[in-house]
Structure 1
Amino acid sequence: MNPTIKKTELQNNKPILSVLVDNSKSIPFFKEDKSVSEFISNIQNNKELGDKFEVKKFTFGNSLQVLDSLSFKENETNISDAISSINELHKGKIAPIILLSDGNQTIGNDYEFINSKQKIYPVVFGDTIKYKDLKISQLNVNKYSYIKNKFPVEVLLNYDGNETVNSQFSIFSKGKTVFSQKVQFSPTENSKTITANLTSTKEGLQFYTATIRKIEGEKNTKNNTKSFSVEVIDEQTKVLILTSVLHPDIGALKKAIESNKQRSVEVLLIDKYKNQLNDFQLVILYQPTAQFNTVIGELKQKNSNYFLVSGANTDWNFINKQQLGFTKKAINQTENYGAIYNDGFLTFLQKDIGFNQFPPLKDKFGEVIFTKEQQLLLSQNINGVQTQQPLLATFEQNNQKSAILLGEGIWKWRAASFLNTNSFQEFDEFTGNLIQYLASNKKRNRLEINAKNIYPANSTIIISSYYTDKNYKFDDRATLEITVTNTDTKEVVKFPFSLVSNSYQVEIENLSPGNYAYKVAVNGQNIHKYGQFKITEYQVEEQFTNANHQKLDVLATKANGKLFYKNQFDYLSKLLLENKEFYTTQKSTIKEQNLIDWKWILFFVISLFTIEWFIRKYYGKI
């Protein structure tokens, strides 16, 4: 027998008071860092608030963090993410939120429309007076241009103010003015779009600076300037599509390839082809038949690159005789093939854009056999069954590059990609990556670098590299190092790369604005790559002229809270203390406890027996 008793324990749970502190650079830019620290100190030292609430303090920039110390060095502000994270963290609890911020968000969803289940009390820090301000809101330019060609630069200018003002917009390159235009703004005409057509005069990466001249009384001039870059290339890539049939795939491929302005596409029916191979860097063979005999002979003779797309009208008996490195035992029956992404694909960098969700492609049924080394980007999925059969594969042999897509209907992929992302960009980039690889006659490099041309000031510079062994397989045994040189001051710094998944990455911080050249080298190997980038003085957190108290007020109203200013701590604390919705809850817990604890009784009994045994042994009773 082991009788039990029940014991009820009561636990008091205070409401939680979450204090969210904007830790971005815009706070010291408005000279409010001391005011924020004093406000937090007032909350922490208020005994009545501490008695009523369990106070928890957090900071946020691009993400939410528990408050350890304030640095005000975050390069981005995401108010929406901070509020959403706190709502999720304190789900089902009474947890009002105090938000200390200037209300200027630089990334994330618009916090004005967030649905918060907790009451929010924003406290405004920063100047609420509206000053006259001219700024470059947006700048659009193509990444590439061709030498001696004109390329457009579209700039959106905005004005805040109550007077009519005159200014001048200019674009500079290497200290010289390459474009200039006078502009006038008024309270009613406060936005202008300017298009400048610049001429590419020199091959390579070219940097430009766009600026709008300061007007009288303008407080913030850091948003008057933006830098951009254009890579000038010597010639355009020309692609020829030879087809035996008219098909929607032709139009989809043409649009996807020509979405990059450095590429042009010409479409010809195979019976119109007349030995034009030398005019193109790449030939796409769409559903080849015996009529393609001449052009395939030319491709083999000249070792030219090609991309073969098969389908229901493809003559596989003809292709199998061409010794292209693959054959197919096709029957006169079609099958639908879904796509499976291969994350071990090494030929070029290509992310998964949702290939497995795309509609299936149609091709003749049969087994594909390779007679030369290949890399699979996509394999076949037949009615939900994953196979090792290829859907999209690439080849590289004797400096000839080729690829095969085993199925027609790729136009459906482009449409599906648009439905998923509301843009053709992902599909067009995928097609562009494939075309760029196939159209290049350069020997494949064992070391590839991925870096931007322009970085904003005080941002983290992330550079990734991809290194392979002699068989062009990713090599995770290497040691990579980057040497960065400031071309103005000649200051040199070195950083090692870290292995991250299937690539090497380095994060560089605290570089001052200026022009930089870099060299990435593989230790112990005579393999290296060069590049350059620019760090601008543009800081997104310093693009605002005043605190956005209007949006904070909308947020407070929608969340059933109230807006406060930095000098209203007493008013805020009084409201929180008197609000009867913020109350302490009691939670009762019933525990059952045994009257007899058998573990201790067992230990006691064993101890007695042990003592008795030693006593008997001592006196010779055993």
Structure 2
Amino acid sequence: MQTQTVLFIILAVIVALILVLVQYYHRQKTKGKTIMVLSFLRFISIFGVLLLLINPKFIQNQYQIEKANLVLLVDNSSSVKNESNIIKKTLEELGSSKELKSKFNISAYSFGESFRAKDSLTFLEKNTNITKALRTTEDIYGRTTTVGVLLTDGNQTIGRDYENIKLKKELRVFPICIGDTTVYEDVRVEQINTNPYSFLNNKFPVEAVINYDGNSNINKTVSVFVDGKKEYQEKLYFSEKENSKIIQTNVTAKSIGVKSITISVETLKNEKNEFNNKKSAYIEVIDETTKIGLVSSILHPDIGALKKSIEVNEQRQVFIISPNTDKSSLENIDVFILYQPNSSFTQVYDFISKKKVHTLTISGIKTDWRFLNSVQRHIAIKNGYPIQDVLPKLNSSFSKFDVSEFSVNDYPPLETNAGPITLHGKMESILKMTIKGVDIDNPLLIVSGETARKDAYWFGENIWKWRVQEYRNSKDFKNFDDFIAKIMVYLTSYKNKNRLNVDYKSVYQGSNNEKITATYFDESFTFDSNAKIMATIINKETGVKKEVPMLLVSNFFELDISNLTPGKYSFNISVLDKSYSKSGFFSITDFDVEKQFLSANTKKLERLASKTNGRLFFSNKTTELKKQLVEDNALLPVQKKTENIVPLVDFRILLGIIALALTIEWFLRKYYGLI
């Protein structure tokens, strides 16, 4: 307690005594025990009030011993399956060590594609993400001193390269290298680059990276096969210094459908790992291109962003057109995007009305609302309103196509000066407007299309900011580009809206998370979470049939097909007790990225340890690791002091004492006639 507070308490005692003496001994002539009791009660009440005003506090110190964290991070991928006994033995030795337990708080996690607490080890995960394991450990243990013991072969298949990440100084990493550290002579197909789509009778590029590990001079032939037929081959020279080569060729798309592209390199004599001498990729050949005319009379970043997003799918070509262009150049356009239309768009709207072409109208602060109201029949917009920022809100009940995976998290606002919007006919909102956190009745993005002609309206400019924000969120544009692609697919489709929608890929890589998703809507086109969706999957090669219910996940149904063996499959998705079903075909490739590695990557693990002030160990050196951790003075437990400021007196108890003293004093004074 501070000296100043003590002096105030002494002063309060003196003041209370003086007031009591003045009241009961200076003014009162009566003396005796009664006056002494009354003066004591008055002293208690006055001193209590003064004590409340002073509110004295004192500091209470608490001491605790904080141990460093010892986090065991175990690689649970298939690449270390052959070393499972060594890993389990090492874990047991570290986890049960009395010396380590006395010095550290020990915890264990497993990682592969995901990161989780180590309850059981399967060594079946198809990917390894060491960066995620280190980042998650850093997030969990924050700024406390932490030692990460990383049991892995050092071969990462997904995620950012762990060698290049910057970790906090509180996290030190001690890798334990698992697996064969011998460097074998090996030649392999490292990577295949090709487009996901090609057009019939067009040439599509194929590029492959071939790497060699060894110190010999060799010549090997690399061949390119399309659906099993050799299309190209090239002989490459390798040496210890020239250990990486790139082949490039163009292949003609001769028929439509999904085509298998296989790159194969000749094996070495006595090569230990022949699995990585061959790698496959897939391309879908289509027989037509959708031509999209983007009509604008102004320059705006939205135009470039939309063109980039749409042309991610090479089935689509975007042509930027002036409103005053010749009508002959409009003839081959399948869909028009009308960007901020004004009176100069008259001829384009005449053409659209005559040909019944699908449209997407994007409005903004330079849109001529009177003109737009006059040239279409779906909406009526009041004008003369100020420019305002509007945020998007996804309509989860949208039924014309599946938008369940589209996320608008952290998307910046769009600008618009549109007033209240009146809808005519059957229109449905994909996105709704939110202004300053309040949901309003205006739609942000709507579509129509009960007939052969379909139209969509987007009320806001600066869409380019959404695409930029998507890259900030996820380091790619996929979420935004997929959403734009679905709008384009809808506008180029002549089908009426379906109550059952199924989303799947034609080809699934064997190492990926394979999913088929579906959405089902009731008669009012509201998402029906109570529906029972059944999937029937047939292996076209073996004829094996499998029926599996789809699971409800948020606002869509999901089927996990990652347990299926590689091959070609047909499927049927149906709603039980309803007449709705969808069918399709897909293939699962025989590819396990974990099998591409032959040896442990000791060099990268050693560089990681050096960057984090750790040290690389091998699985037969566990005793040496324990000794270093126990003897490292930088990892000693730390005594921490916590200062708590505690009130000297509980104010509720003190108020009760004051009230009780005043009450008793009042009754005694009344009883003895002193009032």
- TM-aligned CA deviation for residue 236 of structure 1: 0.7
TM alignment of 1:230-249, pairs within 5 A: 230-244=283-297, 249=302
Q: Which residue of 2 aligns with 1:559?
A: 612
TM alignment of 1:326-365, pairs within 5 A: 326-331=379-384, 335-344=387-396, 345-350=398-403, 354=408, 357-358=411-412, 360-363=414-417, 365=418
Deviation string 1:232-273 (CA, Å, 9 cap, x unpaired) is 222111122344556665455444433432122334433334
- Which range is displaced more, 43-52 or 237-246? 43-52
The partner residue of 2:282 within 192, 204, 229 is 229
Other structure's SS at 2:485 match: helix
2:337 pairs with 1:284? yes
Query: Any gaps of 5 or more consecutive residues in structure 1?
Result: 1-6, 593-622
2:450 pairs with 1:400? no
Deviation string 1:61-98 (CA, Å, 9 cap, x unpaired) is 23333333332112222223333433444456555333
Q: Which amino acid aligns with 2:86?
A: S
**Between Structure 1 and Structure 2, how many residues are aligned?**
582
2:86 pairs with 1:35? yes
Deviation string 1:577-604 (CA, Å, 9 cap, x unpaired) is 3334444567899999xxxxxxxxxxxx
TM alignment of 1:128-277, pairs within 5 A: 128-244=181-297, 249-274=302-327
Q: Which residue of 2 aligns with 1:605?
A: none
Q: Which residue of 2 aligns with 1:496?
A: 549
Contact 2:323 2:347 in 1 (8 A): no
Q: Which residue of 1 aligns with 2:55?
A: none
Inter-CA distance 551–369: structure 2 relative to 1 (3 Å threshold): same
The partner residue of 1:505 within 548, 552, 558 is 558
Aligned mates of 2:133, 2:73 — CA distance in 1 = 8
Other structure's SS at 2:327 match: coil
- Which range is displaced more, 308-317 or 412-421? 412-421
Aligned mates of 2:599, 2:624 — CA distance in 1 = 24
Aligned mates of 1:101, 1:412 — CA distance in 2 = 41
- TM-aligned CA deviation for residue 25 of structure 1: 1.0
- TM-aligned CA deviation for residue 326 of structure 1: 0.9
Aligned mates of 2:332, 2:251 — CA distance in 1 = 28
Q: Which residue of 2 aligns with 1:69?
A: 120
Q: Which residue of 1 aligns with 2:46?
A: none
Q: Which residue of 1 aligns with 2:150?
A: 99
Other structure's SS at 1:366 match: coil
Q: Which amino acid aligns with 1:565?
A: F
- TM-aligned CA deviation for residue 291 of structure 1: 5.5
- TM-aligned CA deviation for residue 547 of structure 1: 0.8
Q: Which residue of 1 aligns with 2:421?
A: 368
Contact 2:515 2:562 in 1 (8 A): no
Contact 2:393 2:433 in 1 (8 A): no
Contact 1:213 1:224 in 2 (8 A): yes
- TM-aligned CA deviation for residue 554 of structure 1: 1.9
TM alignment of 1:470-619, pairs within 5 A: 470-583=523-636
The partner residue of 1:57 within 101, 108, 113 is 108
Aligned mates of 2:213, 2:495 — CA distance in 1 = 51
Deviation string 1:102-161 (CA, Å, 9 cap, x unpaired) is 122223333334425143322212121212222222222222221222211222222222
Aligned mates of 1:411, 1:461 — CA distance in 2 = 31
The partner residue of 1:444 within 484, 491, 497 is 497
- TM-aligned CA deviation for residue 395 of structure 1: 1.3
More strand by share: 1
Contact 1:118 1:559 in 2 (8 A): yes
Q: Which residue of 2 aligns with 1:615?
A: none
Inter-CA distance 15–408: structure 2 relative to 1 (3 Å threshold): closer
- TM-aligned CA deviation for residue 417 of structure 1: 5.8
Q: Which residue of 2 aligns with 1:607?
A: none
- TM-aligned CA deviation for residue 512 of structure 1: 2.0
- TM-aligned CA deviation for residue 504 of structure 1: 0.5
Other structure's SS at 2:122 match: coil
- TM-score scaled to structure 1, two decimals? 0.83
- TM-aligned CA deviation for residue 519 of structure 1: 1.9
TM alignment of 1:8-27, pairs within 5 A: 16-27=69-80
- TM-aligned CA deviation for residue 558 of structure 1: 2.6
Q: Which amino acid aligns with 1:453?
A: S
- TM-aligned CA deviation for residue 374 of structure 1: 1.9
Deviation string 1:518-547 (CA, Å, 9 cap, x unpaired) is 222222233222223322232122211211
RMSD after superposition: 3.5
Contact 1:242 1:268 in 2 (8 A): yes
Aligned mates of 2:87, 2:486 — CA distance in 1 = 49
Other structure's SS at 1:43 match: helix
- Which range is displaced more, 109-118 or 158-167? 109-118
Inter-CA distance 438–586: structure 2 relative to 1 (3 Å threshold): same
Contact 1:378 1:393 in 2 (8 A): yes
Deviation string 1:31-69 (CA, Å, 9 cap, x unpaired) is 322222232333356554455555433322233333333
Q: Which amino acid aligns with 1:155?
A: A
- Which range is displaced more, 578-587 or 279-288? 578-587
Q: Which amino acid aligns with 2:543?
A: K
Query: Any gaps of 5 or more consecutive residues in structure 2?
Result: 1-59, 647-675
Q: Which amino acid aligns with 1:449?
A: V
- TM-aligned CA deviation for residue 500 of structure 1: 0.9
Inter-CA distance 53–310: structure 2 relative to 1 (3 Å threshold): closer
Q: Which amino acid aligns with 1:484?
A: I
- TM-aligned CA deviation for residue 354 of structure 1: 4.9
- TM-aligned CA deviation for residue 384 of structure 1: 7.3
Aligned mates of 1:468, 1:115 — CA distance in 2 = 47
Deviation string 1:478-502 (CA, Å, 9 cap, x unpaired) is 2111122222211121211011111
Q: Which amino acid aligns with 2:429?
A: L
Contact 1:448 1:467 in 2 (8 A): yes
Contact 1:455 1:534 in 2 (8 A): yes
- TM-aligned CA deviation for residue 177 of structure 1: 1.8
Other structure's SS at 2:454 match: strand
Inter-CA distance 98–288: structure 2 relative to 1 (3 Å threshold): closer
Contact 2:567 2:587 in 1 (8 A): yes
Aligned mates of 1:8, 1:175 — CA distance in 2 = 77
Aligned mates of 2:499, 2:174 — CA distance in 1 = 56
Deviation string 1:341-392 (CA, Å, 9 cap, x unpaired) is 32424433445565864464355x5332111232223444567765332332
Contact 2:402 2:501 in 1 (8 A): no
Q: Which residue of 2 aligns with 1:86?
A: 137
- TM-aligned CA deviation for residue 334 of structure 1: 5.8
Contact 2:108 2:117 in 1 (8 A): yes
- TM-aligned CA deviation for residue 503 of structure 1: 0.7
Structure whose alpha-carbon radius of gyration is higher = 2
